[in-house]
Amino acid sequence: MEEMLQVKNLSKSYGNLTVLKDISFHVKKGEVVAIIGPSGSGKSTLLRCINQLEKADGGEVCVCGQTMFSSDESGKAVYSSAQILREIRLKIGLVFQNFNLFPHMSVLRNVTEAPIHVLKQPKTEAIETAEKLLKKMGLLEKKNSYPCELSGGQQQRVSIARALALHPEVLFFDEPTSALDPELTGEILKVIKELAKEKMTMVIVTHEMAFARDVANYVVFMDGGFIVEAGTPEEVFSNAKSERTKQFLERYHNG
Amino acid sequence: MGIEEIKKVAEILLQYVPATLKLFGATLLFSIPLGMIVALLRKCKIKPIEWLVSFYILIMRGTPLMLQVIAIYYAIPFVQTSDSLEKMPGFLQTLIGLVDIRDAGYMFNAVCVAFTLNYAAYFAEIFRGGIEAISKGQYEAAACLGFTKTQTFFRIILPQVIKRIVPASSNEVITLIKDTSLANIIAYEEIILKAKQQMQLYSSLVPLFIAGIFYLISTIVLTTLFSFIEKKLDYYK
């Protein structure tokens, strides 16, 4: 199967503090990868590096065969040209923990703004796509509302529609349910499961263990900036090799 | 003063309303975009530029507008006739040489430059506050969706900044309409200057009272206008 994302020996530090060290994993087309681990383990920083919101120090990241950056002889990350970085940017989408919708735009405009002004799609086409996506998210009747008039769960569904409107090859989720109460969490997880059924390639940072186990093809457990363990949900959740993984998962099994 | 005289004074003062409004309008027209540029320069990563801009804001806010008006009005003729002109860099020499102080518009231009420089400093600080209040997440979401930096600023950041700065800006604008009276110090012919002349002519305070009514009406109009704008922008939180 086609490789959608390759991460090799990625490292990142803030001054003396190493936040990511020797991170390697890859994602194939149609796969769902869940990244789990305690807070501060570097999960979000990893997503932010892949989405060009943070600069990595070393290693290599390739998206759909295009190199975002790779290390030179000294091990320092050398980024590709702005043109390539932009092409890569448009191939991936990111859903944030706190939605980051544009508060001054209606739901519909939140979804159509990038297709119209970034992809230069005709307005009618962008609106048609947006309405289709909003319908799928069960939010078509809210298209003229403003983000402040929606619940957290609805806002997050709009932000998923907004990301999908650019037809990304890979969709990243940075703790998409952490700002939501359990009831609203359910509606987001349902949407992500739907997308998984449609073979959308996704990388999800999450604290929802049951969900990760259920929906992911591949689970990565991170702690202290390292990948401690990675494998199928079965391997990680039921037959973890490392003590640290077992210890971490125990809390969820008991809780 | 009798009713006939009051009417006569009011008519005279009314003739100078355009001069006051012209200064008010021109100052807004130039100081708002300049203030935006200054606000962006203040956030510049090149330190000397940031320092220079901070220094400019300090001077403009730290000294009286009246002093600035006098200084700018007299600075050009002073420099033109002094020998320090020759020590200046070439482009400044040309620039200063181009100003014709005998031109009929010189006084208005000098006043307008002083007001614009002063108000741009205040607007810059308001804009900076507005820009800093926008969360980092907005920039990140825009970047992830592929918006360029210019698109992000004009489509996503600026509209939100405008909503945030309307209340503070309305204060500045209301202050400006009253500050235009400071231009009378260099004999710019506006309402206060004329009211003072009429006051001496009739030995009466009534002309000043009439001038006061003009400022009061202007303030009421501006307050209404800004509360309308605030309501218009209230469609989101």
Over residues A54-75, mean pLDDT: 93
pLDDT tens per residue, range A138-162: 999 999 999 999 999 999 999 999 9
Q: What is the pTM of this model?
A: 0.86
Per the CB < 8 Å rule, is B145 touching A166? Answer: yes
Positions of E strands within A121-243: 170-174, 201-205, 218-223, 226-231
Per the CB < 8 Å rule, is A114 touching B140? Answer: no
Residue B108: domain span: 3-235
pLDDT score at A1? 67
Residue of A90, A104, A113 lying closest to B236 (CB–CB)? A104
Residue A19 has pLDDT above 90, yes or no: yes
Tell me which residue has tokens 């002519």.
Answer: B201
Residue B35 maps to which CATH number? 1.10.3720.10
pLDDT tens per residue, range B28-79: 999 999 999 999 998 888 999 999 999 999 999 999 999 999 999 998 888 8
With CA atoms as reference, the chain A residue closest to B164 would be: A104
A98, B137 contact by CB (below 8 A): yes
pLDDT score at B105? 87
Over residues B169-193, mean pLDDT: 94
Per the CB < 8 Å rule, is A117 touching B143? Answer: no
The rounded mean pLDDT for chain B is 92
Per the CB < 8 Å rule, is B159 touching A118? Answer: no
Residue B83 has pLDDT above 80, yes or no: no
B100 contact A CB<8A: no
Calculate what percentage of chain B has a pLDDT beyond 70: 100
The rounded mean pLDDT for chain A is 93
pLDDT score at A2? 84
Per the CB < 8 Å rule, is A102 touching B138? Answer: yes
pLDDT tens per residue, range B87-115: 777 787 888 877 888 887 899 999 999 99
Own/partner contacts of A182-188, CB < 8 Å, gap of 24 or more, are A183/A153, A184/A151, A184/A152, A184/A153, A184/A156, A185/A153, A187/A153, A187/A157, A188/A153, A188/A156, A188/A157, A188/A160
Stretch 179-208 of chain B: residues touching chain A, C-beta under 8 Å: none
Domains and CATH numbers, chain A: 3-254 (3.40.50.300)
With CA atoms as reference, the chain B residue closest to A115 would be: B145
Residue of A103, A104, A118 lying closest to B145 (CB–CB)? A118
pLDDT tens per residue, range A190-199: 999 999 999 9
Coil/strand/helix, residue A65: coil
Mutate to test the interface with A, among B135, B139, B140, B144 (most CBs of A within 10 A): B144
Q: Which residues of A touch B140 (CB under 8 A)?
A: 53, 96, 100
Over residues B121-135, mean pLDDT: 95
Residue A254 has pLDDT above 80, yes or no: no
Per the CB < 8 Å rule, is A103 touching B236? Answer: yes
Which one has a higher pLDDT value, B168 or A75? Answer: B168
Mutate to test the interface with A, among B145, B155, B161 (most CBs of A within 10 A): B145
Q: In DSSP terms, which residues pair with A227 in a beta bridge? A: A222
pLDDT score at B13? 93
Per the CB < 8 Å rule, is A113 touching B144? Answer: no
B163 contact A CB<8A: yes
Residue A123 has pLDDT above 90, yes or no: yes
Q: Which residues of B touch A93 (CB under 8 A)?
A: 144
Q: Kind of pairing, strands A66-71 and A77-79?
A: antiparallel
The model's confidence at residue A231, banded by pLDDT at 50, 70 and 90, is very high
Give the minimum alpha-carbon distance from B160 to chain A in angstroms, rounded to a whole number: 7
Residue of A101, A104, A114 lying closest to B146 (CB–CB)? A114
A33, A219 contact by CB (below 8 A): yes
Residue A182: both structure tokens together: 């359990």
Residue B92: both structure tokens together: 């400044």
**Chain A residues bordering chain B (beta-carbon distance below 8 Å):** 51-53, 86, 89-90, 93-94, 96, 98, 100-104, 113-114, 117-119, 146-148, 159, 162-163, 166
Over residues B207-221, mean pLDDT: 95
Q: Which residues of A touch B164 (CB under 8 A)?
A: none
Per the CB < 8 Å rule, is A104 touching B159? Answer: yes
B133 contact A CB<8A: no
Residue of A98, A118, A147 lying closest to B147 (CB–CB)? A118
What is the total count of domains within chain B?
A: 1
pLDDT score at A59? 94
The model's confidence at residue A36, banded by pLDDT at 50, 70 and 90, is very high
Residue A255: both structure tokens together: 């809780």
Coil/strand/helix, residue A223: strand
pLDDT score at B94? 81
Per the CB < 8 Å rule, is A104 touching B151? Answer: no
pLDDT tens per residue, range A68-121: 999 998 889 999 999 999 999 999 999 999 999 999 999 999 999 999 999 999
Gyration radius (Cα) of chain A, Å: 18
B234 contact A CB<8A: no
pLDDT score at A252? 76
pLDDT score at A196? 95
CA-closest candidate to residue A14, choices A50, A42, A52, A51: A42
Residue B201: both structure tokens together: 């002519």
Over residues A174-193, mean pLDDT: 92
Give the minimum alpha-carbon distance from A148 to chain B in angstroms, rounded to a whole number: 6
